[in-house]
Amino acid sequence: MKKEWPLWEVFVRSKNGLEHRHFGSLHAADADMALVNARDVYTRRSEGVSIWVVESKHIKASNPEHNGELFEPAQDKVYRHPTFYDLPDEIKHM
């Protein structure tokens, strides 16, 4: 038969209060196996309290070649930052 097991991306929450973070990827036949494998590959030393796995093919990633169109428009919008606004020196905490 010779079918390669699909690739999965693994996200781990290292402790409650923190978000899941991308840890790496692995191969597994299905989602249950991907979870079990993720536990063995990425949390051998209590690195996490929760794991998400998602098949890599379901991730749509932006293309770095389009970073200009995608991210540059934010650069000339300084008015989105608090330091853009002039306030009197007497105002200490705002």
Q: Which residue matches tokens 């098949």?
A: 55
Distances (CA, A) of 55 to 3, 11, 16, 91: 16, 11, 24, 52
Is 72 a residue that touches another protein (CB under 8 A)?
no
Is 5 a residue that touches another protein (CB under 8 A)?
yes
Q: Are strands 50-55 and 20-27 parallel, antiparallel or unpaired?
A: unpaired
Is 18 a residue that touches another protein (CB under 8 A)?
no
Is 21 a residue that touches another protein (CB under 8 A)?
no
Is 34 a residue that touches another protein (CB under 8 A)?
no
Which of 17, 19, 58, 65 contacts another protein by CB under 8 A? 65
Which of 63, 68, 73, 79 contacts another protein by CB under 8 A? 63
In 3D, which of 22, 33, 18, 5 has the Cα closest to residue 59?
A: 22
The size of the chain, in residues, is 94
Identify residues 39-58 at the interface with another protein (CB under 8 A): 40-41, 44-45
